[in-house]
Amino acid sequence: WPEAVVRVQSLSDSGVKRIPECYVKPIDDRPSLLIDDDDSSNQSNSNSNINIPVIDLGGVYSEDNRVRKRSMEMVSEACREWGLFQVVNHGVREELMEAARRVWREFFSLPMEMKQEYANTPETYEGYGSRVGVEKGAKLDWSDYFFLHFLPLSLRNPSKWPANPHSCRSLYIYFLYLPAQLINVIEIYIKALVAIDDRELVREYNEEVLKVCGKLMKILSVNLGLEEDYLENAFGGDQIGTSLRVNFYPKCPQPDLTLGISPHSDPGGLTVLLPDDHVSGLQVRKDDVWLTVKPIPNAFIINLADQLQVVSNAQYKSVEHRVIVSSNHDRVSLAFFYNPRGDILIEPAKQLLLTNNEAPLYQPMTFNDYRTFIRLNGLHGKSQVDSLKSPP
């Protein structure tokens, strides 16, 4: 990293009253928090009735033709007009969603020395991190995160995933009367067991969310007038990439001066976000206004990313979003990224160009090259995907 890494959580816990200069955004980029820090109303949108579309994914598989057709249309509209929607009836068990949240909350509540063992580097980004981009002196965001690879299997390394000793704390009481050495042995054993448990849970969560991505890829393909498997294959079939980024947004003494994540669109194909169940914070830019998303219980937030914009030749647009923070509550979110395989060229679908008699708006590029660009330069709204535009 270009500078010593500062954990935002440590800053927050230290009780600073003013945030360091590097987190203070230029005036135009600051959120306008009209009413903040009340769970039901921390939004900067004056029209609180606007919310992003909610789609019952079950409807797509209904026996009733009309329901199926209507549901497909709703997805299509949401993709064209928003690039963002919530889904319910997505097939992932509620308990699994809750357990995943719990495991990650536990990770972020570990003592700092333990989290530091997972510190990441700009080479792979895997592990515990506090910034994206390596530009020296860059403005930073008010968040820490944990990033891990899930697919391809060759990149999956569960030994780098958190193993959570917290969960067995409550058992220690039974050990009080045992000799110290024996306690050590038992502790090592239990830690190993718990590690397996937590990693298995993260694996299962990812596996289930991946299924949701698979369903959505098919739905989006059909809606674009392509073969059902088109998008999945265009992204590399069984060689697609997936990863999980868990964001932790600590309490912030001056939430009106900074952001939890700066405006960006996600670089890959699609993102499935499990938001915090108590605190909102995600905002999307719609017609130049930042709207706060109000999560529905047990829903996922689906967000279209840059490579879908490219393949669909901008029929679908990736959604620009950012995160605001709060002075009263911290917040945890799990973002699952569904990405193209790194080394194949991603370009507008030929079939789609033919059918619609369109010229390609984007030049072919591999996702590896695209992502490297972002990891060097940090997040800057939608400038990356826009810079891909073919010369007229």
Considering only 282, 284, 374, 385, the residue that binds ligand OGA (CB under 6 A) is 282
Assess contact for 261 and 141: CB atoms under 8 A.
yes
Considering only 126, 141, 266, 347, the residue that binds Ni ion (CB under 5 A) is 266
Residue 275 contact, options ligand OGA, Ni ion, none, Cβ 5-8 Å cut-off depending on partner type: ligand OGA
CA separation, residue 229 to residues 35, 214, 220, 232, 236 (Å): 45, 9, 10, 6, 11
CB under 6 A: which stretch of 72-80, 86-94, 147-155, 274-282 binds ligand OGA? 274-282
Minimum CB–partner distance for residue 2 and Ni ion (Å): 22
φ and ψ at residue 283, rounded to 5 degrees = -125, 145
CA distance 223 to 311: 13
Q: Is 266 in the site for ligand OGA (CB under 6 A)?
A: yes
Torsion angle in degrees (nearest 10) through CA of 145, 339, 302, 34: 40
Q: How many CB atoms lie within 10 A of CB 135?
A: 11
Angle between helices 180-223 and 94-108 (to 10 degrees): 130
Tokens of 391: 């010369």
- Residue closer to ligand OGA, measured from CB, 145 or 230: 145
Minimum CB–partner distance for residue 321 and Ni ion (Å): 6
Tokens of 143: 């968040």
- Residue closer to Ni ion, measured from CB, 109 or 383: 383
Nearest Cα neighbor of 349 from 222, 236, 265, 226 is 226
- Residue closer to Ni ion, measured from CB, 167 or 271: 271
CA separation, residue 237 to residues 134, 151, 217, 338, 341 (Å): 32, 12, 11, 12, 8
Tokens of 55: 């789609």
Tokens of 299: 């829903």
x-or-dash string of contact with ligand OGA, 74-113, rule CB under 6 A: ----------------------------------------
Considering only 101, 115, 245, 317, the residue that binds ligand OGA (CB under 6 A) is 245
Torsion-angle region of residue 127: left (phi > 0), alpha (psi -120 to 50) or beta?
A: left
Residue 323 contact, options ligand OGA, Ni ion, none, Cβ 5-8 Å cut-off depending on partner type: ligand OGA
Minimum CB–partner distance for residue 211 and ligand OGA (Å): 20
CA distance 155 to 368: 14
Tokens of 33: 């928090």
Assess contact for 278 and 105: CB atoms under 8 A.
no
Of residues 326-345, which lie at the interface with ligand OGA (CB under 6 A)?
Answer: 333, 335
Residue matched to tokens 């937030």: 301
Nearest Cα neighbor of 235 from 302, 306, 301 is 306
Minimum CB–partner distance for residue 235 and ligand OGA (Å): 18
Residue 333 contact, options Ni ion, ligand OGA, none, Cβ 5-8 Å cut-off depending on partner type: ligand OGA
- Residue closer to ligand OGA, measured from CB, 148 or 261: 261
- Residue closer to ligand OGA, measured from CB, 301 or 346: 301
Minimum CB–partner distance for residue 239 and ligand OGA (Å): 23
- Residue closer to ligand OGA, measured from CB, 142 or 230: 142
Q: Is 275 in the site for ligand OGA (CB under 6 A)?
A: yes
* Type of residue at 76: S
CB under 5 A: which stretch of 83-91, 137-145, 241-249, 260-268 binds Ni ion? 260-268
Torsion angle in degrees (nearest 10) through CA of 163, 277, 34, 27: 30
- Residue closer to Ni ion, measured from CB, 209 or 226: 209
CB under 5 A: which stretch of 132-140, 148-156, 265-273, 289-297 binds Ni ion? 265-273
- Residue closer to Ni ion, measured from CB, 266 or 330: 266
Q: What is the H or E stretch that residue 154 is in?
A: none
The DSSP secondary-structure symbol of 61 reads G
Q: Is 261 in the site for ligand OGA (CB under 6 A)?
A: yes
Considering only 43, 206, 247, 326, the residue that binds ligand OGA (CB under 6 A) is 247
Minimum CB–partner distance for residue 324 and Ni ion (Å): 14
The residue count for binding ligand OGA (CB under 6 A) is 12
Tell me which residues touch ligand OGA (CB under 6 A): 245, 247, 261, 266, 273, 275, 281-282, 321, 323, 333, 335
Tell me which residues touch Ni ion (CB under 5 A): 266
